[in-house]
Structure formats: C-alpha cells, structure tokens
Amino acid sequence: MLTPEVMLALAAELTDAQADDDAQSLAAIAWRLYSQVGEHHAEIGRLRAAIHAAWKQAPAPSPPAVAA
C-alpha cells in the first residue's frame, strides 16, 4: 500500500537512482509503482461492484402517504 512513509522512501530511491543515472533502478521503481496502481485499481473495481450489487438489492422506497 502506498502509505506516506512508502511514498517518501520511493521518492528518496527515485532521487538517488536519477542522480546515479541508474536506469535499472528507475525501471524497478516504476514497476513497483505500476503494481501498486494495479492493486488499487482492482480494489476500486471490487468496491464499485459491491456498491452496484447493494444498490440493485436495496428495497424500493415506499411511495409517500397521501394526505386526506
């Protein structure tokens, strides 16, 4: 999960890799970020599906009572 601590560590790694002109490290960091995004995207998809299913199963609201 991309917590603030993980993001700070990645930023430091990116800075070091860029300063060292280390393309292999940059590629590895990019792959880790891509993986994290994929996990988050999958979680968003699961949440959307659950919300959609709950929405479809929710009982219809009762019509308002007619005042006499």
What domain range is 18 assigned to?
4-56
Q: What per-residue confidence (pLDDT) applies to 19?
A: 92
C-alpha 33/C-alpha 9 separation (Å) is 12
How do residues 16-60 score in pLDDT, each as one tens digit?
998 999 999 999 988 888 888 888 888 888 888 988 888 888 676
Question: Which conformational region is residue 21 in: left (phi greater than 0), alpha (psi within -120 to 50 degrees), or beta?
Answer: left
Count up the domains in the chain and report the number: 1
DSSP letter assigned to residue 66: P
pTM: 0.55
Q: Give yes or no for residue 68 having a pLDDT over 70.
A: no
